[in-house]
Chains A and B, each alone.
Chain A
Amino acid sequence: MKTQADHAASGLPPAARRTGNWKRLRNQKFLWLMILPAFICTLLFSYTPMFGLYMAFINYQPGGSFASSFFGGEFVGLQWFKYFFDSGDFWIILRNTLAQSLLSLAFGFPAPIILAIAINEVRSGAFKRFVQTVSYLPHFISWVIAANIIISVLSSQGLVNKVLMLLHVTDKPIAFFQHGPYFWWIIALSNMWKDMGFNAIMYLAAIASINPELYEAARVDGASRIRQMLHVTLPALRPTIVILLILAVGGVLNAGFDQQYLMQNDLVLKYSDVIDTYTYRYGLQNGMFSYGAAVGLFKSLVAFILVLMVNRLAKKVNDQALF
């Protein structure tokens, strides 16, 4: 699209431009020099692993040189994929990944919208800033710290159990990390806790761009504040909400790694294990390199197709796309 625009701008026939390209290329030697470091980094750390996915189709044996372990391995075709689908693991992993993603979405998606609207209703600038400042904080700490904190708060002596006991919901502390199904809820709520404030930024930016005259007009018509919120703020947020929701759906297979890996234990593994933790455990910890690569490839492919579909949908909805 842009090259066509360039042709039009330069006013030259395409043939003349093609010969000009060499000259332009020579003139741009410094620009290419500037691209080089990033080009090499991306080649080494992003593209080489993609070619390395070949190991998903062989019986990879570690040790020896790179070439010998790669080309010496027996070609097994789709055997590792078949192994994955035939093992009972596939359905458990898929269930856990989708359950944790969708549950996280159910809590984590509306929360920043509600938070942004609530912050917007505050008249005092200082209180507004205070709420925002505090709510961002969990986003900037690592999952290691977050996991430490969450495990403490949910421990038998933590505040959550204390409150539940005061309310007589339970008469002895609940061992949150010893019952599998709880784990899904813990992940969903932890994700919400960590990113709610940060994700509200997008919505606050969208709210800030609303024309104040709209509120003025609504007030003249006698709309209460709740009606102003329902009929001015929410409709203005609709495009942002739709786009972010579509993109979030495109990422359902990325249920995370850090939070599961750091908070899980053997008792809840049947519920906590998602694709990425599974790949890590089998591929690196148990040394089934080819199997791990195959599971990883499966995930990358499905995620990629999902993103492409979702991107097309987003484009249709809002004339806005990722590329």
Chain B
Amino acid sequence: MRGKSTGDLLYAGVVYLFLFAVVFVTFYPFWNVLVLSVNSASDTIKGGIYFWPRELNFTSYKEILTDHEILHAVWVTVARTVIGTPLTVIVISLLAYPLSNRELVARRPVTLYFIFTMYFGGGLIPYYMVLKNLQLIDSFWVFVLPGLMNVFYMILVRTFIEQLPQEISESAKMDGANDLQVYFRIIMPLTMPVLATIALFTAIGHWNAWFDSYVFTYKSSLKTLQAVLVKILNQYQTGAMVSDAQKLADSSKRLAVSSDTIRMAATMVATIPIVMVYPFLQRYFVKGMTLGSVKS
């Protein structure tokens, strides 16, 4: 074997070193959050906790999981995800089927009508005014309705349908099935893999959304988990302005839970569901992404 020269070994060494560095840099911050969240708050303030908890303590999780604001926020987030995701998938896939049909009258202008919105928009302020006039400000539906349509996902589904053999739907039409029947009985079952992909993406989008809850709702009963987390983050940042001396003074009071540990635990609670759907994501999204790069 000529391949194993010193140059090759050196190259392989650099490659592995680089990859280990990447793994460390991406993974360590999550690990650090986990460690901080399970360390006793009074001990955390002393600093020096990097890789392992020093005083194992789950008070912050107990605190969070009995906190009404956070529990309610989790409930709102779950509700928007469970209600919003299937509706979005239905609206998008219903649109993708006609647009994949080459016989559709005015196919190009209709497609352009949707694609154009990817490149130009009215911006935040007029959008807010529209939501206000649709009575969506301070309504649960502001989480669901604006997200029903997504052009990028539609293109994914359309590309997928276009790659299905044409004969299937044609023979069904010969048998007298109308477009709706063809869609629901034949196309939809066949497109399940891509629908699962966009469902996962949409669900993650709902889980991660904070801006709509933070800006378009005022009632505390409509705050999502991420929006509550933003509030906690803001409090922390204001707190960070306070000198370290102040923090030490606080620590002498022996608070059972500092805002910092709470923040870490809340971050963990928001991250865990993402990690849980991760294996499914892995299976679908690589396919979805590469599909998307095949432009029409």
Contact = CB atoms under 8 A, between A and B. Distances in A.
Given A2-B108, A3-B108, A49 B271 contact: no
A219 B289 CA distance: 32
Interface in B1-48: 2-3, 5, 7-8, 11-12, 15-16, 18-19, 22-23, 25-30, 32-33, 36, 47-48
Majority secondary structure of chain A interface residues (helix, strand, loop or mixed):
helix
Which of A37, A153, A177, A320 has the most B CB atoms < 10 Å from its CB?
A37
A322 interface: yes
A286 to B, nearest CB: 11
A258 B229 CA distance: 13
B256 interface: no
A162 B293 CA distance: 42
Given A34-B180, A152-B29, A284 B128 contact: yes
A31 interface: yes
Interface string B81-103: 00000000011101101110111
Given A38-B95, A50-B121, A159-B32, A197 B128 contact: no
Given A50-B122, A135-B23, A156 B290 contact: no
A300 B50 CA distance: 44
Nearest to B47: A157
Interface residues of B, number: 101
B154 interface: yes
B212 to A, nearest CB: 12
A38 B274 contact: no
B233 A159 contact: no
A219 B26 contact: no
A24 B128 contact: no
A41 B32 contact: no
Contacts of B119: 304, 307-308, 322
B12 A49 contact: no
B78 interface: no
B183 to A, nearest CB: 7
Nearest to B129: A52
A55 B126 contact: yes
Contacts of A45: 127, 130, 145-146, 149
Contacts of B207: 142
A46 B121 contact: yes
A284 B2 contact: no
Interface in A123-177: 127, 130-131, 133-138, 140-145, 147-153, 155-159, 162, 177
B236 to A, nearest CB: 7
Contacts of A134: 22-23, 26-27
A27 to B, nearest CB: 9
A38 B105 contact: no
Which of A3, A144, A297 has the most B CB atoms < 10 Å from its CB?
A144
Contact of B270 (A49, A142, A152, A155): A142
A196 B22 contact: yes
Contacts of B274: 140-141
B127 A49 contact: yes
A265 B270 CA distance: 23
B198 to A, nearest CB: 13
Which of A39, A45, A130 has the most B CB atoms < 10 Å from its CB?
A45
A53 B126 contact: yes
B240 A155 contact: yes
Contacts of B2: 222
Name the 4 nearest CB pairs between A and B, nearest first: A296-B123, A49-B122, A52-B126, A142-B208
18 contacts: A31-B104, A38-B91, A42-B149, A45-B127, A48-B122, A49-B121, A49-B122, A50-B121, A114-B18, A121-B12, A133-B278, A144-B233, A152-B32, A193-B25, A193-B26, A197-B22, A258-B210, A307-B119
Interface of A: 2-3, 6, 21, 24-25, 28, 30-35, 37-39, 41-42, 44-53, 55, 66, 114-115, 118-119, 121-122, 127, 130-131, 133-138, 140-145, 147-153, 155-159, 162, 177, 193, 196-197, 201-202, 205, 219, 222, 224-226, 229, 257-258, 262, 265, 267, 276, 279-280, 283-284, 289, 292-293, 296-297, 299-300, 304, 307-308, 320-323
Given A21-B105, A50-B126, 7 more contacts: A39-B95, A66-B129, A118-B19, A121-B15, A140-B281, A144-B270, A152-B264
Interface of B: 2-3, 5, 7-8, 11-12, 15-16, 18-19, 22-23, 25-30, 32-33, 36, 47-50, 90-92, 94-95, 97-99, 101-105, 107-108, 110, 112-115, 117, 119-130, 133-134, 145-146, 148-149, 154, 178-180, 183, 204, 207-211, 215, 226, 229-230, 233, 236-237, 240-241, 244, 263-264, 267, 270-271, 274-275, 278, 281-282, 286, 289-290, 293, 295
